[in-house]
Chains A and B, each alone.
Chain A
Amino acid sequence: MSPTDGPDRVTITPYRDGPYLVRGSFELLDQDGNEIELSRRTIALCRCGKSRIRPFCDGTHRLTGFRAPGRAEQPDALLDVAVEESHG
């Protein structure tokens, strides 16, 4: 069985205007290689940079108006967002 299916499969999903959700059998390590304790099976990693419990999400993106798509960003889309923001 390949690691991309079955129970060991790990997925990372960007949720629109929110964090990355990580599911599956994985470890989270700090840059020194020490394990960061996980308190649940599915975790949310901060994507807006403003969380106070990084690397985990704490919902702060709601207060800061963080915008990001729930899929891979395209270079053109980056331009559109910049234009929209400059008008907003």
Chain B
Amino acid sequence: MSAVNAWLSPAARLIALPAARGPWTQRLFSALLKHPGAEIDIRDLPLPERALQDDDAQLALYIAYELHYTAIDGVDERWEWAPSLLGFRAALEERFSRAVDDLVPACSVEETIDVGATLQTLVAQDDGPALSRFVETQATREQLLEHVIHRSAYQLKEADPHSWAIPRLSGPAKAALLEIQFDEYGEGRPERMHSALFAETMRCLGLDPAYGAYVERLPAITLATVNLMSGFGLHRRRRGALVGHLAAFEMTSSIPNRRYGNALRRLGYGPDATGFYDEHVEADAVHENIAAWDLAGGLARAEPHTAEDILFGARALLALESLWAEHLLGCWRERRSSLLASADTA
């Protein structure tokens, strides 16, 4: 990856196509190297049965979405809106969406009346595994590095998926989203952007902070947590779910991030390494209130029919984060890596 990036400013995004993992990635990646719009025949491809656990399907969807975020080495940028790509993506989105639907219970009419209050209840009742507590007190250095590598799939583009909502909101909800995003993007100081703080943490830990450097190592469930927000973000009709996702994300962030900062301190790392986590303790204690009451509450007041999807987005975030945390803790209990083997060493 570093070689690919050598001729670009470190701030510019360019990724290499990862190695294919199965029929969906093989079919997609070989098409992407052809002229934009080349046919991608999916009629003979087996539909993923367990979409959230399918390493091949999640990587194919991830790369299909990455066309909206980054340049891909050797891929014509016009692929982003090529009808054949969109058709391919839609087939995977349909399976993914169904799998998420199966995880998320339907919400009641009462819950939609005061969305801000319901979000507080959902977060308070969430009983996902105690990943941050484990990392704080017990994780080895290798496990901590794995955790950072998993999170790099999102944190190196932190806030970007939720920015898709900006042109789709209006009035108080839009102002609330921008109040959060301005802080996420460093309030005009590029070195304070949360994605830049995360890159600094990666550097301090001896990891490669280049965007996309570890895509090949990421299992299905990690990619699914990011595909969830990209999918909500790239479909205007899911603006409610996108807003609910952001609200639940912010509301479950301050305390875990304090623990992750403590984990780094326990292992002897200094303030440059913990800066990302320390910043999030204070920042997300601000954002969570704006996100729940002004953003989510504001959207529900402006467009009451979105309330149900706001709560769906919040529940989907909690459900997928829970599966992801279970994956990490489960692998670590069995004393094995939670990442996929790299193509070089496999």
A-to-B contact residues, CB < 8 Å: 15-19, 21, 39-44, 51-53, 56-60, 62-63, 70
Whether A59 and B288, one on each chain, are in contact in the complex, defined by CB atoms closer than 8 angstroms, is yes
B201 at the interface (CB under 8 A from A): no
Flag if B289 contacts A19 (CB, 8 Å): yes
A21-B279 contact given A16-B117, A40-B183, A58-B258, CB 8 Å threshold: no
The answer to whether A44 touches B285 (Cβ under 8 A) is yes
A48 to B255, CA, bound (A): 15
B185-211 CB contact bits vs A (8 Å, 1 = yes)?
001000000000000000000000000
**22 A-B pairs in the complex with CB atoms less than 8 angstroms apart:** A15-B289, A16-B120, A16-B293, A18-B289, A21-B290, A40-B187, A40-B282, A40-B283, A40-B286, A41-B183, A43-B286, A44-B285, A44-B289, A52-B258, A58-B254, A58-B285, A59-B285, A60-B255, A62-B123, A62-B251, A63-B255, A70-B293
Cα A62 to Cα B171 in complex, Å, equals 29
Q: Is the interface of B mostly helix, strand, loop or mixed?
A: helix
Partner of B255, one of A19, A21, A62: A62
Query: A15 vs B286: C-alpha distance in the bound complex, in angstroms?
Result: 10
Chain A: minimal CB distance from B248 (Å) = 13
When the two chains form the complex, which single residue of A17, A41, A56, A70 contacts B285, counting CB atoms closer than 8 Å?
A56
A59 touches B124 (CB 8 A): no
User: Closest residue of chain A to B258, judged by CB?
Assistant: A58
Q: Which of A17, A41, A42, A56 has the most CB of B within 10 A?
A: A42
Question: B283: which A residues are within 8 A, CB to CB?
Answer: 39-40
Chain B positions within 8 Å of A52 at CB level = 258
Given contacts A41-B187, A59-B255, whether A19 and B282 have CB atoms under 8 Å apart is no
Among B183, B288, B289, which residue has the most Cβ atoms of chain A within 10 A?
A: B289
Contacts of B288 in A (CB 8 A): 18, 59
B260-281 residues at the A interface, CB under 8 angstroms: 279, 281
Judge whether B116 and A16 touch: CB under 8 Å.
yes
* A40 (CB) vs chain B CBs: closest residue: B183
Residue with the highest number of chain A CB atoms closer than 10 Å, among B253, B284, B285, B290? B285
Per the bound structure, the CA–CA distance linking A15 and B176 in Å amounts to 14
Contact A44 B286 (CB under 8 A): yes
Q: Does B134 contact A (CB under 8 A)?
A: no
